[in-house]
Structure formats: structure tokens, C-alpha cells
Amino acid sequence: MPFIKTYIHFVFSTKNRESFLHSHDLRKQVWNHIRKNAIEKNICIDFINGYPDHCHILISLGTDQTIRKVMQLIKGESSFWINKNNLCKTKFEWQEEYYAASVSHSMPNRVRNYIKNQEEHHRTKSFQKEYSELIQSPPDKSSG
């Protein structure tokens, strides 16, 4: 049996970056649901957090999983669940695009801390600025 540890840092935003997930309690409820649903689909979520207009997830991919399929399962099911439970005033959607970057085996703690500190991080930085910086230099390589 092979031993594979492939960490991927995913970031995806709400449709048009709307602040659908406006409260801490709502975000916590959504992140908990995404985690629970992932377990049912054998997706190993290491860490999840976000802000009103986006989500960060650190995932350890399984041998038969693809980035595309994992994102499809997480985003599709969570959108359906949020709408089915009327958690937002208008129809909830995730943006089609997403960011996915591999994380060095020695760096998961750094990425976990980055994801964990989203509330503090976004007091001074917009999602657009963060996204641009991620594309240029992922958190396992940047200074912060």
C-alpha cells in the first residue's frame, strides 16, 4: 500500500465576491458542514477557514482524487446545502474559478496558521490583494 501525502491549499470566493457569509457563526456553520460532507466523500480536510467572501481549505489529496473533482464536490454540495437551508437572503453561489497550490511537506503548519488567521489578516488586506499575492507567492514561500 503506497504512502502519499499531497497537501493542496485551495482558495475560492463567493460569486462576484459578495459577502454572503457575513457572520462568524454562519461561516462556522458552513465550514463545519463542508468538513462533515468531505468526510462522507473521503476528502481529507486538514484545515478550513475563511472570510465573508471566500474560503481557504488545506486538503491532503487521496491517491485517486483530482483537484477538479474535489473542488466540484465541495463547492457544488455546499452551495446546494446553503440554499436548501436558506442560510442567505439571496441565492448563494461560489465563483467558478479557484486557486490551488501544492504545499511542501515541511510547510503545512505555516499554511494552517495562514488559514487560521483570516479574520485578523483581512482587517488590513482585501481578498483581491490576497489573491494576487497568493498567485505570485503562496503562503508556504512568502513572509507571512
Reported confidence tier of residue 120, pLDDT bands at 50, 70, 90 = confident
- Cβ atoms of 114 and 77 within 8 Å: the answer is no
Percent above pLDDT 70 for the chain = 83
Reported confidence tier of residue 118, pLDDT bands at 50, 70, 90 = confident
At 55-88, the pLDDT tens digits run 999 999 999 999 999 999 999 999 999 999 999 9
Question: Helix or strand or coil: residue 70?
Answer: helix
Q: Three-state secondary structure along 12-42?
A: EEEHHHCCCCCCHHHHHHHHHHHHHHHHHCC
Cβ within 8 Å of residue 112, ≥6 positions away: 46, 47, 58
Enter the pTM of the model.
0.84
Which neighbouring-strand residues pair with 51? 54
**What span, in angstroms and rounded, lies between the C-alpha atoms of 100 and 138?**
10
C-alpha cell at 12: 475560492
The structural domains of the chain, ordered by start, are 6-136 (3.30.70.1290)
Question: Helix or strand or coil: residue 12?
Answer: strand
Reported confidence tier of residue 119, pLDDT bands at 50, 70, 90 = confident
**What span, in angstroms and rounded, lies between the C-alpha atoms of 93 and 96?**
9
> How large is the average pLDDT for residues 100-113?
93
**What span, in angstroms and rounded, lies between the C-alpha atoms of 139 and 144?**
6
